[in-house]
Structure 1
Amino acid sequence: MAGYNNIIEIQKIRGYMYWLNERLLELEAEINALIKTREDDSDNYDYEKYEELIKEWNSIQRTLSTSQASIDKNYSPYWSVVSRLIRDEHYWFCNKCGINLSSNRDLLHLHHKDRNRINNDDANLEPLCIICHATCLGHSHLIDEITDEMKCVIYKKRALLSVESKKHLPYLKMTCSHKLKHADNELREIIINYGCWMHALYSNKIHPFTKAQARFVDVCNKKKNPKSSFERAWHYYMLENDL
């Protein structure tokens, strides 16, 4: 697959930057309208909406303003925009631990697998939370940047994801063990490999990162018939619960 180095993708990125600038204008108009509402009719002023708009406005401003700073750090031009675009395409999931960081976007990095900061091929880029990123070869320096607050956010999300995933395990063991050759190991791997997809499936936000996950998603959406024991186990679960 062609990456973000060719002309078509550069045009796509520039188009995305144009959209960001357009969105800034829209946000400014919405923010000004809310400010006017606060002045004219304070009882109907939507404080939460105002905070939400300001947060998005600040986020876009940071993305646009850091483009040149990215070049100064030996990244490719528009790196901050490329990073945001790809993480958005992956729905802000960490590709390693599976947590969703859409509400804590600064904690999700985009990792260059070959450690070449200007190689922006799709296959070379991987969204990782800052803790998973710090475990990658040559990235131990990130450990010093991880604050207690960051750890708290990430570990809490991992714990919640684990609960969400593992609550399916008793049913799978009860109904599918006799259908699996090595039930315990295979059921554990279902949770490890596909736990976050179970939640994503319910949320209609599935975006596979590997061919195996893509096939599993197709099975979940009844586009393909299950073949592996993993796929059969989850397929039986879905049929039983009419999902």
Structure 2
Amino acid sequence: MICYKILMTKFKNKYRIESNRMPGWDYSGNGFYFITIVTQKMECILGEIMNGKMILSDFGEIAQNEWYKSFEIRQELILDEFVLMPNHLHALVVLKKPDNSHGSYGSHVETHGRASLQSIQQSTEQSTEQSFRQSIQQSTKQSKFYRKPKSLSSFIAGYKSAVTTKINNLIDEYVKTHGENVETHSLASQPIFEKYNRKNRLWQPNYHDHIIRNDDGYWRIKNYIKNNPKNWTDDKFYG
């Protein structure tokens, strides 16, 4: 079992999250992944939780629409569970290789969109809730040099870029209509330029991915994602 170390390093009043991938794991190969993507400074610009349910902002609508669109465009991806929260998203994603003749998840996909976990590398999952919550803190650095096509990092980079572009276009359209200094309109429960504009970064440059190795881990994480909105006040990203 791989033990991920989370190092929160303070640098110029900002936190940088360092972590390690599983050595030798091919991220363009078949696999089940628990993905977490977080907004810059964990700003709650994607919506708000009301009565245990996520109410999307205009930014959140864009983020959700682009997420679903990504799975229409990329045939190598299968979306399992997904939730968009005020400042992050969680998802269970299957990355498959349809050209694999043996051991391909493409040949094991079930009708409800979930592939069999039996062919995943078997390992003991962290079993305690505390350990699981700690694992969510980790974030994986995206490569600054080369992203393999149809890989997890390529998918996430494309998604982040698409959402940022759409939101920037929304802001530009708003500025044309209302003027850049207006403070009466809200796209995310606060004035539009208070939390995000073109001078800011929309997403944290990193993301977290966790390899799902067995059914126990699969169901534990799936339930965590499903219950995330109603457990928002206990979430580590809450604030």
Taking structure 1 as the reference length, the TM-score comes to 0.26
Instruction: Pick the structure with greater CA Rg.
Output: 1
Give the strand-richer structure, 1 or 2.
Answer: 2
Q: Which one has more relative contact order, counting CA pairs under 8 Å at least 6 apart?
A: 2
Give the helix-richer structure, 1 or 2.
Answer: 1
